[in-house]
Amino acid sequence: MSEIVRTTVVIYGEEYQLRTDLPEEHVQALARMVDDRIRALAAKHPRVASGRLAVLAAMTFAEELARLKAEHDEALAALQARWRREKAAFRSKV
């Protein structure tokens, strides 16, 4: 089991102390992704408050996750269907 460590990240100019069992490099990379997304949104919407920018960033990440999950599920279903066809074809030859 991984050890829980404290990591400090900076997102949109604010420091956050996180307790996690993830490698620090990974946590820092995730924080940079969040920071980059918020900054990109802030550039498009300069008058939006930081809290709302954070919610918008969360929504865009959630949309990406949902899209990727749907793509994954579709690819998995296609692989399973192919496997069933291949299995049936193999059994018919045996």
Burial class (CB in 10 A: 0-12, 13-18, 19+), 17: exposed
- φ, ψ of residue 48 to 5 degrees: the values are -85, 135
pLDDT of residue 1: 61
User: What is the pLDDT at residue 56?
Assistant: 98
- Say if residue 34 is exposed, middle or buried (CB neighbours under 10 Å; 0-12, 13-18, 19+): middle
Residue 57 to residue 50: CA distance in whole angstroms:
10
Helix/strand/coil for 17: strand
Alpha helices, DSSP H, located in the chain:
24-44, 50-93
Q: Rounded to two decimals, what is the model's pTM?
A: 0.82
Tens digit of each residue's pLDDT (9 = 90 or more) over 33-88 = 999 999 999 999 999 999 999 999 999 999 999 999 999 999 999 999 999 999 99
